[in-house]
Structure 1
Amino acid sequence: MNDPRLHETLRNALLDRVGGFFRNTVRHSGETCSVCTGPVASTDSARCGVCSSHHAEFGDRLADQVLPLTYVCGNHPQGIHQSAHTVVSYKRTPVAEKSVKDLCLMILAATTIHASCIAVPPGRTWQAVTFVPSASKPGRGHPVAQLARQVAFHNDADNRLTLDLGPGIEADQRTVRGDRFAVPARYRERVEGKHVLLVDDTWTTGAKAQSAAVSLKEVGAAHVTALCAARWCRYEWESHRLLLDRCTEPYDAYFCPVTGGTCPTN
């Protein structure tokens, strides 16, 4: 996990590829949500309104950690921002290969450089890997499955699993549901008592990722970490605009998505 030369190579590659338009998510108490890193309504709020409502209903059945890597500047009045173009075009048909490679490299770098910080409790890294399925293209054919395949450790065939779509898949996409996804019986032993790394491409409200986390917890996952390449923000919303405008430094793969700063374990 601690190969300084590899870490530096990954960092420099990402700076060159996405540094001009991606910005690291930040964790500032009283400013950003402790779950999704979006803006909070007041300085005494730990979570944003959406994440608070999810927690009120589902509590510890939700993901134990949510780790978005970069902010996306969506809905910009002057046209599509390159960050938004990247996360949208990576899953279009045909896909934009550069966008796919950019997001894949981000997942690889995050799980290589920050594996020790993602491990909960310390020393127990993830033991299974899955991804949030697409309702329109579930299974391993969707680009999000390719993102999950970039996870650096504990990601061989015996550690992977694929979630099925559940009866609640067509429900309001902004709501967390325990029946949106399901863990197939053949994969349950890979989940029970395990730390599961759940990969997603974009967090908007988090409803789908949290629905997947609930499904994993319901069959016995001990811990779920949701690793999301991007946190979608809407530039026309004042609170989002203020947050985006404050984030001016190029994306740095050394910036820890768990601590919001440096890694105490590296």
Structure 2
Amino acid sequence: MATVVGLSDHYANFLVHPLLPGPGVCQICRGPAKVGYPTCWQCQQANSILGPGVADAVVPVSLALKGEQYANELWRYKNAAGPQQRYFRMGLAAVLWRFLALHEPCMADHCAVPAFDVVTTVPSTSGRADHPLRTMVADMVGATSGRHHDLLTSAPDALTLGRTASPARYTSAALWGENVLLIDDTWTTGHHAQSAAATLKAAGAGSVAIVVLGRHLNISYGDTATFVEQARLRRFTWDVCALRSWSHR
């Protein structure tokens, strides 16, 4: 019988730890930032639009590099068909389950909360009826299935907003101070996920932390190749803390 460890082990061959925040690294999304600036331009934009509505933590599982294996899987788990679709969904569900089992307590500690009471996902704004990420989080990942709730709905005019961060992109069911773990698959600008976080907070959420399976980067853009080269210096291992420079041993 397949296990979470068995299904996720081979991912260590191509996952890439995001760099920890510091000079040249965005303190929010962990992507490239201009030296001397605490955040990248996209995160600064989201902050200026959403203010205190932005997430209390953003934790990427791995970099997802355009044209490489992990980015390819994050595309194919939504767009492949038949056995291939099931294969990629099972693999990514195992990645998320293993990551949360190891690192969710550190995320809660980072947000100064005892735990995350509710788990939900960022909805599609493209009209996809049954998003596979929702299926994974609600039905396949043992670390989240018991806490999953469908909280967010895309606003009717969400598509007209493009990728811009907006508190009007989603609506949410009412919350009463629950701490929410918000899951997304790919972070490019982060504006969809941050808009969802702002909606949850406006609906009454306590702390909101975002876990994203892949922080998308295009290594042919600007100085990104150098940034990724630095990230690759630290070989991926599952026990390396997502938020601090130590291992969970």
Same fold flag (TM > 0.5): yes
Percent sequence identity is: 24
Give secondary structure in 2 for the equivalent of 1:71: strand
Gaps of 5+ in 1: 1-8, 75-79
The one-character-per-residue Cα deviations of 1:116-150 (angstroms, maximum 9, x if unpaired) are: 111145561100010001123456x2111133235
Give yes or no for contact 2:7–2:91 (8 Å, CA) kept in 1.
no
Match of 1:86 in 2: 73
In 1, are the aligned partners of 2:120 and 2:183 still within 8 Å (CA)? yes
Amino acid at match of 2:15: F
Taking a change above 3 Å as real, the CA distance of residues 261 and 60 of structure 1, as seen in their structure-2 partners, is farther
1:118 aligns with 2:107: yes
2:12 is the alignment partner of 1:26: no
Residues 165-198 of structure 1 deviation map (CA, whole Å, 9 limit, x = unaligned): 11341123321111111113xxx2xx32011000
**Mapped contact 2:94–2:141 kept (Cα < 8 A):** no
Paired residue for 1:167? 156
Q: Is the 8 A contact 1:203 1:232 kept in 2?
A: yes
The Cα RMSD (Å) is: 2.3
Instruction: Give the TM-score normalised by structure 1.
Output: 0.82
Which amino acid in structure 1 is aligned with residue 62 of structure 2? Answer: T
| 2:114 aligned partner, one-letter code | R
Superposed CA deviations along residues 5-56 of structure 1, whole A, max 9, x for unmatched, are xxxx866753x321222211121411211110101111x2211111012112
Q: Hey, what's the Cα distance between the residues in 2 that align with 1:211 and 1:227?
A: 14
Given that residues 22 and 251 in structure 1 are in contact (C-alpha distance below 8 angstroms), is that contact kept between their aligned partners in structure 2? yes
How many residue pairs get aligned? The number is 242
Select between 243-252 and 17-26 the one with higher mean Cα deviation.
Answer: 243-252
Residues 37-52 of structure 1 aligned to structure 2 (within 5 Å)? 37-42=30-35, 44-52=36-44
TM-score by length of 2: 0.87
Greater percentage in helix = 2
CA contact 2:96–2:141 (8 Å) conserved in 1: yes
Q: Deviations over 1:204-257 (max 9, x none)?
A: 000110111111011111110111000000111132211112232443221222
Q: Which residue of 2 aligns with 1:179?
A: 168
CA contact (8 A) 2:16 2:231 kept: yes
Call closer, same or farther: CA 1:250–1:110 in 2, change over 3 Å: same
